[in-house]
């Protein structure tokens, strides 16, 4: 249960940061922001983890970059625009 709550909280933080750093307005609700942050974390984890499960600041930065990439990809495909 704590893993789910932690994923929601970290997804919210990462999603908000990604929306803040993305150039231009990003129109989405809180649930979409949380899902964006969780998705960005998953994308970054798949690319950078190499089997490790420990916490790192670089992983947090990569999660925000992954979420920004998801915003860009969504806009490119016309999803949510």
Number of domains in the chain: 1
Residue 18, domain extent: 2-77
Q: What residues contact residue 80 under an 8 Å CB cut-off, 6+ apart?
A: 27, 28, 32, 74
| CA–CA gap between residue 65 and residue 70 (Å, rounded) | 9
What whole-number distance in Å separates Cα of residue 6 and Cα of residue 24? 28
pLDDT, mean of residues 34-46: 82
Q: Which is higher by pLDDT, 19 or 48?
A: 19
- Which pLDDT does position 54 carry in this prediction? 67
- pTM, two decimals, is 0.78
Using one digit for the tens of pLDDT, what is the confidence trace for 51-70? 666 666 777 788 888 888 88
To the nearest whole percent, how much of the chain has pLDDT over 90? 0
């Amino acid at each position: 249960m704590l893993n789910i709550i932690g994923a929601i909280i970290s997804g919210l933080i990462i999603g908000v940061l990604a929306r803040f750093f993305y150039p231009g307005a990003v129109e989405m609700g809180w649930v979409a922001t949380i899902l964006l942050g969780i998705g960005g974390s998953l994308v970054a984890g798949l690319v950078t983890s190499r089997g490790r499960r420990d916490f790192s600041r670089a992983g947090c930065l990569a999660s925000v970059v992954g979420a920004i990439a998801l915003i860009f990809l969504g806009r490119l495909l016309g999803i949510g625009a």
